[in-house]
Amino acid sequence: MYAILDIETTGGKYNEEGITEIAIYRFDGHRVVDQFSSLVNPQRDIQPFVQRLTGINSKMLVNAPKFFEVAKRIVEITDGAVIVAHNAEFDYRILRTEFDRLGYAYERPSVCTVELAQKLIPGLPSYKLGKLVRSLGIPISDVHRAHGDAQATVELFKVLLEKDSEKTVIGTHVKTLTKKKVPNKYLAIIEELPTETGVYYLHNKAGDIIYIGKSKNIKKRVLSHLTSGQRKAQKIQKSVHTVTYELCGNECLALLKEQHEIKKNQPRLNHALKFRHFAMGIRRDQQAAYHQLIVEQVRQTEDYLEVFKNKKDADYRLREWIEEYTLCSQQTSLAQVNQRCPERDLGQCKGACTGDEKCNHYNQRLDTLEKSLDYPFPHMLIIDKGKQTDEKSFVYIKDNVFQGYGYFRLHHQIKTVEKIENRLIPIENNRDTEALLRSFLRRERYQKLINLAAEKTA
């Protein structure tokens, strides 16, 4: 749980400042679950330059509550939460100073979105809140007012959590909070989990991630881990202490995120997916006059037209290509020694197996097949559902290479390449990601495609 806040002050000497406005949004990592915003009477003068910056003056604060009158609400809304602020050192210091004046020891773990953004989005010209969120296409209103800046920080933090593929924030959060908790029983873990599509993380008592998975129904899938008698499930049951999750909005992003983060974090119970998700591939062998299509176990030194989870899926796809492009099965790894070509007997083979078809004609059809496997546009966005009803997701393809994904609410947030790349959660392009995207494109499992080259010239 996070308490995302912003504070406006009177200005003045160090540790003599007073709070003039505070806004806090309690955020569970997915949505705001509580909020508090109020002007505060600081009982001291406001510096003139601060009045000009915030628009808050002493007359506005005459009838505002004093800090001791809102202190209990602040304690409640930040209880058990990590303080998140843009320049957290300043806001947290001011808050602790006010509580010190009341004789109350206020302590919370904290996260600074400036430091987080510098790590996760390096190279930006400015990390001031206004310029940073505008570069990400995040709208901001009432700049230098607590509620406006805090709302913008909430949206910024959502983007940063998505970009945090190494789970630095979540890991630190879990390690901090689990020290104070008694381990829950298995079924108690399930209660707070959603029935939506996303990626889930199983943590041990130390907060380390021991397993990453994805599901269309996170609650149902985690329940199966904690109640199954299978060998892997029993290993999970012995170690699991806490479950965290991230909603994705659609299955494509959940699959991309799962395979990427397993490779990145190397959880000890994710054996198969630590290295590759798709173990079998179809390769075009051009050594013979008639090029061959070979199904084999994926090797790092070879290029593959498409990759698959198992040989059965690869053979099925190869048979589809044979039928669609009138290929000869004797020129593939499906060839039967000392047997006639079944497609020739059915009139579907043009004679590559008997030499009746010229090899260059046959190979041209393989060229057509290979071309069909390209992305629909070399520079494009794949648009699909987001995590919330008013949100969309995008997958970014640049020069026929997958770059990553992101989320947006308004079209202007992805109207330029700069804004797309600022909102982007990068994911390594590899055979696994290409196979996932080709599968979803082939089955049209998306809402729409945006040809960015056409958008640029329009």
Please tell me the predicted confidence (pLDDT) of residue 179. 47
Percent over 90 (pLDDT), the chain: 45
Residue 185 confidence (pLDDT) above 90: no
Architecture of domain 2-163: 2-Layer Sandwich (3.30)
pLDDT (tens digit per residue) in 23-46:
999 998 888 999 999 999 999 889
Amino acid at 362: Y
pLDDT (tens digit per residue) in 331-350:
999 987 767 777 777 778 88
Please tell me the predicted confidence (pLDDT) of residue 272. 64
Taking residues 227-246, what's their average pLDDT?
Answer: 87
3-state secondary structure of 363: helix
pLDDT (tens digit per residue) in 347-376:
788 888 888 899 999 999 999 999 888 899
pLDDT (tens digit per residue) in 93-144:
899 999 989 988 888 888 889 888 888 888 888 899 989 988 888 888 888 8
Q: Could you tell me how far CA 224 lies from the centroid of its own chain?
A: 24
Q: What superfamily does domain 180-274 belong to in CATH?
A: GIY-YIG endonuclease (3.40.1440.10)
Return d(Cα 235, Cα 237) in angstroms, integer.
5
More confident residue, 65 or 166: 65
Return d(Cα 193, Cα 220) in angstroms, integer.
9
Residue 456 confidence (pLDDT) above 70: no
pLDDT (tens digit per residue) in 249-270:
999 999 999 989 998 889 999 8
Do the domains spanning 2-163 and 180-274 agree at the CATH topology level? no
Taking residues 441-450, what's their average pLDDT?
Answer: 89
Structure tokens at 319: 């048979």
Q: Is 213 exposed, middle or buried (0-12, 13-18, 19+ CB in 10 A)?
A: buried
What are the domain boundaries of the chain? 2-163, 180-274, 280-372, 380-457
Residue 25 belongs to what H/E stretch? strand 19-27
Is the CB of residue 419 less than 8 Å from the CB of residue 136? yes
